[in-house]
Amino acid sequence: MRFETRAIHDGQEPDPLTGAVTVPVYQTSTFRQDGIGRPRGYEYSRTDNPTRRALETALASLEGGSHGLAFASGVAATSAVLSLLRPGDRVLAGDDLYGGTYRLFERHFRPWGLRIDYAPAEDSEAFLSALTDDTRLVWLETPTNPLLRLADIAAVSEAAHRCGARVAVDNTFASPWLQRPLELGADLVVHSSTKYLGGHSDLIGGAVVVTDPELHRKLKWHQNAVGAVPGPWDCWLALRGLKTLALRMEAHCRNAQRVADFLAAHPAVERVHYPGLPDHPQHALAGRQMRGFGGMVSAELAGGFPAVERFVGALRLFFLAESLGGVESLVCHPARMTHAAIPPSERRRRGIGEGLVRLSVGIEHADDLIADLDQALAAAGGGPTTGRSAKGDAT
């Protein structure tokens, strides 16, 4: 079956009791058993729940894996993957990554005993040269947050496996509609299902998908023992979101391309980060390993933080907010919002400046979004739109 069909049907058979075509919300903490040691398939909802199992089955199908696990948040999913390691193990991560992941790495797992190094994942030669025989996990975001850089998943996976390391890919920005890392050689796929999977800014959740049964067994043990699981209502909301994922991602990509082209030609914008721009350094790679270029666009405004403050204050359709991937358009200032946990000197080294804004482009009409951006840029002091050609991402 094709992706769109699996998104609606896999794990989501009609209810055998009533014939309801939507998976019920099994809002229960425990399940009656027919005798001691004789459960009917479920015992306690921390361990397993029918609504959660439906979501996990659907996620595994869409990512091309055999096992899915749902967690209470994306950070909980990330923590579960890192908990596969032991003190002294080495992690190699891309150096452009979500601030919450950096915080988890540096303030929890490094003191716990992991050795964590960073390298530019978009530079395959530099990144692969940082692989060593004692590396046990490679952590990739691709596209990255917030600079929309790409890593070559197939090349990194091949090299990592030669070193005896597993590869985990945070696929939140792309979603399985645009990119399936397991099919490119990765071992684990991680999501904040809060974002594109749910798609409506009304749930918090995370997910891990694998193909290795032993990895699944270890992660399942962790999921039950630690208990960072989503409730059945959030699982139901995520299932509902998956049904329209393909349609929404097509609209996100279409609108983001229009927005990126507009911003790249605007005099108030110094640089645009979007893989769909022809002069993005990994534009060709994006064309190979992704179905489309995604719904996230980052831009650096001329005038720095004062211009950013005026810009976000003038926006009407783009809401200033954390998160991304919903049907509505959002804007954030990474340096003071999503990536504030990274020290300022480290942010600057990684290219996250005070003039950078990150746009989660929604599925509103593109003309309305561009009009909103145009008037906000004018308010920021950028003057009228010009017909200059797109500058694109020069990093």
- Cα 283 to Cα 296, 359, 392: the distances in Å are 14, 19, 11
DSSP state of 183: G
Q: Which two tokens stand for residue 164?
A: 């005896």
**Annotation says 123 is catalytic:** no
104 close to 85: Cβ distance less than 8 angstroms: no
| Annotated active-site residue in 26, 53, 95, 98 | 98
**Annotation says 90 is catalytic:** no
Written as one string, the DSSP assignment of 69-95 is: EEESSHHHHHHHHHTTS-TT-EEEEES
| Annotated active-site residue in 195, 271, 310, 358 | 195
164 close to 136: Cβ distance less than 8 angstroms: yes
What are all long-range contacts of 362-368, with beta carbons under 8 Å and residues at least 24 apart? Answer: 362/252, 362/255, 362/295, 362/326, 362/327, 362/328, 362/329, 362/330, 363/248, 363/251, 363/252, 363/255, 363/327, 364/255, 364/317, 364/328, 364/329, 366/254, 366/255, 366/258, 366/259, 368/317
**Annotation says 98 is catalytic:** yes
* Residues with Cβ within 8 Å of residue 130, at least 6 apart in sequence: 92, 117, 119
- CA 368/CA 376 separation, integer angstroms: 12
| Annotated active-site residue in 48, 89, 170, 372 | 170
DSSP state of 15: P
Nearest Cα residue to 176 out of 279, 246, 223:
246
* Residues with Cβ within 8 Å of residue 214, at least 6 apart in sequence: none
- Cα 310 to Cα 66, 301, 359, 386: the distances in Å are 48, 11, 16, 20
Residue with tokens 């790679």: 285
The gap between the terminal CA atoms of the chain, to the nearest Å, is: 40
- C-alpha atoms less than 13 angstroms from C-alpha of 186 in its C-beta half-sphere: 29
Residue 326 bridge partners (DSSP): none
Q: Which residues are known catalytic residues?
A: 46, 98, 170, 195
